[in-house]
Amino acid sequence: MDGRLGVPILMSLVLSYLPEAAKECGIILDTVESALPNGMPEGVGEDCKLQEMFHKALELLPCLWIRAGFLDEAVTAYRRALVKPWNLEPRRLAAVQKDLATILLYGGVEVSLPSQLQVGVETTPKSSVEEAILLLLILMIKVANQEIDWDAEIMDHLTFALSVTGMFELLADHIEQILPGIYSRVERWYFLALCYSAAGHNEVALNLLRKACGSSEANHRPHFPSFLFGAKLCSLYPCHAHEGIKFSHGVIDLAKHQNEHFLGHGHKFLGMCYGAAARISLLDSERSIFERESLNSLNCAAVNGNDDLEVVFSLGLENAIHRNLDAAYNNIMMYSDMTVGSSRGWQLLALIVSAQQRFKDAETVVDFALDESGGMDQLKLLRLKAVLQIAQEQPKQAIETYRILLALIQAKKELWLEDNNFDQQEAFRREALTERKLEMEAWQDLATIYTDVGSLLDAKACVDKAQVIEFFSPGSWHITGMLLEAQSLYKEAFVSFSVSLSIEPDYIPSIISTGELLMKLGMQSLPIARSFLMNALRLEPTNHDAWFKLGLVSKMEGSLQQAAEFFQAAYELKLSAPVQKFN
């Protein structure tokens, strides 16, 4: 018992003496500094006992303060060692700089620089993290110039600091400056891909991953993380779906031999890429194969994924797109039970419920989600709520919801202009494009509402607002065409639809409207109208509006049996159509 009590007593005695020891060490430094106010003279040799004792005191003082628990005093002591030329050898100086950067990054203290160290408003670090980054950048320059040896910890600390501040491109620059031999070629490409992807440059990241997984590395052991990351990035973009299928097969093949716990991820990305490939496929036979493979892969991922949230969500999304609404509903309800406050889960659930033509229930889901969301998610949910109100033929309520949405967007803009915090500015910058697109879509939706209720002047004002945000938007030109068509200005409307399609040739609303406009020009234009509508269905086979217009064309041509089939398809598809696209 006495022995067990003796250890904590001894420790408390030691800790009580640490501040005293630090003060004694500080007295030594004060004495030397008063005698040498400009630092150590250049002529002093390395074997000078006084200099060596002083250097040891410089290094010991911050360690004593750290052990005593006074981190702010430790930061001051480290700065004291660096502010004057004390003739520390490069290795020891670098160690002091690294230790200070470590305390500043992870110590949880903010110790402002004294006035004599603030050399300028622009160059003075504004926070501990900024000061740490400057120190680590200095150390990386020393490594690049071979003044000190490579230290992996410096790179680890710099990676953390630049990541939490969002400066991923700067991190990529320093990875590129690392001398050959530290990282293998594949590792360097992979790290750079991570940086550029985090900075929002996913195309650059994909190019690097193609190199890491390409033929130039065929004679080396496959780099599994590069295949996995490539599959993930490709799953985000339909245009890279086929390439993503190859990456995903690579993940599955490698996981079978060395990383079996990643099999679920391989099947997940494979299912997502097959689903995206199905949506961009132009052949019905190919589309049906991809859809089947997508669901098979995602179900396989669900078996191997140990309740992977992404798998459950993707299964719900794919089932919804294929109009398997009951299965989709069950998947998303399971996803909601597994997560707390997932905005995208609520959005998809609301869309599935709207596809079941339960618009009021869908609006209730959105209202519930709005209570738990904020930021960009809140703005997207508000737009969805307005669209649901339009579907319930409540234009006044929808207009009021759009007014709230636009007011919130304007408030966020003003906040961004007033805020001077670097980190928050970076976050706002990343959201700016999404907000801009959402604001434009809100004005376009308002223009559609006003056109439908016959308030053409208000509709024109809303279109003008949308075109101020983005002049070359196919949606704005399409609505302009609808507005002109409502005024029986068919020639001008046709020009607007043509401009819309010149911006985005596969913009389905303008393809359908062009076909509808051609129907009004007489029997001689019906084959061309049919061609436009068939093209729309080739791009989106579940578009009930295109099926209905195609039925009208067949009816005008006298093919009543075919028209009836098209009308039946339009009716059935409309009964399962969401108010917005699922994807």
The full set of domain ranges for the chain reads 196-212+222-306, 506-582
User: In this predicted structure, what is the pLDDT of residue 14?
Assistant: 46
Q: Which two tokens stand for residue 353?
A: 């419920």
| CATH-assigned architecture of domain 506-582 | Alpha Horseshoe (1.25)
User: In this predicted structure, what is the pLDDT of residue 307?
Assistant: 75
CA distance 149 to 165: 27
Q: What's this model's pTM, rounded to 2 decimal places? A: 0.79
CA distance 337 to 318: 19
Cα dist. 328→15, 33, 345 in Å?
Answer: 62, 73, 11
**Long-range Cβ contact pairs of 64-69 (< 8 A, separation 24 or more):** 64/18, 64/19, 64/21, 64/22, 64/25, 65/22, 66/103, 67/15, 67/18, 68/15, 68/18, 68/19, 68/22, 69/15
Q: Which two tokens stand for residue 478?
A: 């399409």
CA distance 351 to 328: 10
CA distance 328 to 317: 7
Measured from the Cβ of residue 224, the count of other Cβ atoms closer than 10 Å reads: 17
Measured from the Cβ of residue 583, the count of other Cβ atoms closer than 10 Å reads: 13
- Eight-class DSSP state of 506: T
Cα pseudo-dihedral 456, 459, 460, 464, rounded to 10: 180
Where would I find the H helices in 453-507?
Answer: 456-469, 474-486, 490-503
User: In this predicted structure, what is the pLDDT of residue 123?
Assistant: 63
User: In this predicted structure, what is the pLDDT of residue 9?
Assistant: 36
Q: Calculate Rg over the CA atoms of the chain.
A: 32
pLDDT tens for the 583 residues of the chain, in order: 344 434 343 334 444 566 677 676 777 666 767 666 666 666 555 666 766 777 777 777 788 778 877 788 888 888 877 777 777 788 888 988 999 999 999 988 887 776 656 655 556 777 888 889 999 999 999 988 888 889 999 999 999 999 988 889 999 998 988 888 888 889 999 999 999 999 889 999 999 999 999 877 767 788 899 999 999 999 999 999 999 999 999 999 988 877 778 888 999 999 999 999 998 888 888 888 999 999 999 998 888 766 788 899 999 999 999 899 999 999 999 898 888 767 888 999 999 999 999 999 999 999 999 888 877 888 999 999 999 999 999 999 999 999 999 999 888 877 766 665 544 555 556 677 788 889 999 999 999 999 988 899 999 999 999 999 999 999 999 999 999 999 989 999 999 999 999 999 999 999 999 999 999 888 888 999 999 999 999 888 899 999 999 999 999 998 999 999 999 999 999 999 999 998 7
Cα dist. 474→406, 444, 470 in Å?
Answer: 21, 11, 10
User: Which of 108, 46, 116 is closest to 84 using CA atoms?
Assistant: 116
User: In this predicted structure, what is the pLDDT of residue 4?
Assistant: 46
User: In this predicted structure, what is the pLDDT of residue 521?
Assistant: 84
Where would I find the H helices in 240-342?
Answer: 241-257, 263-280, 284-304, 309-321, 325-338
